[in-house]
Amino acid sequence: MRTIFHIDVNSAFLSWSAVQLLKEGSMLDLRTVPSAVAGDSESRRGIILAKSIPAKKYGIVTGEPKGFALQKCPELICVSPDFSLYTRNSEEMFRILSQYSDRIEPFSIDEAFLDYTGMEQLFGSPLEGAKRLKAHIKKELGFAVNIGISSNKLLAKMAGELEKPDKIITLYPNELEKKLWPLPVEEMFMVGRRTAPRLKKMGIRTVGELARYPVALLEKEFKSYGRMLNAYANGIDDTQVAYAEAVQEVKSIGNSTTIPYDVEEREEAYKILLSLAETVSMRLRGGKVSAREIGVVIKTTDFQVYSHQTKLLNAVDCTNAVYETAKKIFDEAWKKEPIRHLGIRAGHLCSDDCIQLSFLEEDWSKQKQADEAMDHLRRKYGRETVMRSTFIGGVEPAYGGGSLKINHLRKK
């Protein structure tokens, strides 16, 4: 049986800022008082990026305007974000993780999966190894982490969410009924704010009810997504920890377009997302990289902008995989306002050999072969040589996007 750790820094930006201030001689630990990391701390503009546990008691939430947070808690201490500091802390944490395993998969700047399988002879049982790793980070870097332990990535991540902060929690398959199934269904990984109400309409209110619900009925409502949700609720996940031999220079690949007309129908938005998915996926395959995160950006006709993203347990580079994920994100995010701009971003890139076949997800292998064949024809004869029938005679271009956006990692 595999042993997987999920390591997550508690209130990362706030913790990292607090530790730095203590190093600089501050007598106040921001983690012990109502505090937050917020944009433009000299004014009332900006949003809350992270908050302390005492700040939560005032109802302060990440992403809300700073002015609203100050109305809830006038004594709230706000500090400006320091992304170079956060990058350094993240790099230092991953350096320590590498001392406990050579199989580490970054999940975000403050999260990682670590395959502990076979490391017991060096560091003890999984619980002993987790305690040792946790204490090592706390002693050397000064901040706390949560560590979830299980036999797969999904359950390790869910374990780390069960109780915070500064905890080590196990969630093995034999513990599902006691620890996972009583939770509200919206706390299940991959159940978003739009999916949860649909599940509740079906009478599914807890993770356990989702686990026991007939798969055929879930597939009828959600297609393959329903099968995946049922598998996740039952703790089934066969994806491996995808560790890269070298860090890719490209951090994310994205494309967006300003639409010449107001989009008010879901199907019209889907066509534009498909067009964008074509270009983003071609660039992924061209760069021989795959994405473990897909994001969608929506700008309304009154210039309100909001974005959502989903982290994937397995990496993708197939056009249909990117498109289907983008559609689910869009359905979760769209508030039915007229749309003037749409974008797709593929992030958390890894080498394309980190793609793994999982029986919980669509098998995109045949589709990928078709994608590669079409890529070859487009490169040789032009992009209009091969296009989907959806775009023939339509307003939407087959390959959408105003200007292709590629973000790079900071040079070391």
Q: Which residues share a beta bridge with 351? A: 289
- Asked whether the beta carbons of 118 and 50 are under 8 A apart, the reply is no
Q: What CA–CA distance (Å, rounded) separates 269 from 146?
A: 39
Q: Which residues of 285-315 are buried (b: 16+ CB within 10 A; e: fewer)?
A: bebebbbbbbbbbbbbeeeeeeebbbbbbbb
Determine how many CB atoms are found less than 10 A away from the CB of residue 105: 24
Dihedral, CA of residue 59, residue 65, residue 71 and residue 73, to nearest 10: 50
- Token readout for 299 is 């700008």
Tell me whether the omega of the peptide bond preceding residue 165 falls within 30 degrees of 0, making it cis: yes
Contacts of residue 197, Cβ cutoff 8 Å, sequence gap at least 6: none
Contacts of residue 177, Cβ cutoff 8 Å, sequence gap at least 6: 208
Greatest alpha-carbon span in the chain: 68
One of 42, 75, 92, 111 is an active-site residue; which one?
111
The reply to whether 111 belongs to the active site is yes
Q: Which residues share a beta bridge with 299? A: 305, 341
Residue in the block written with tokens 């395993």:
101
Active site residues: 111
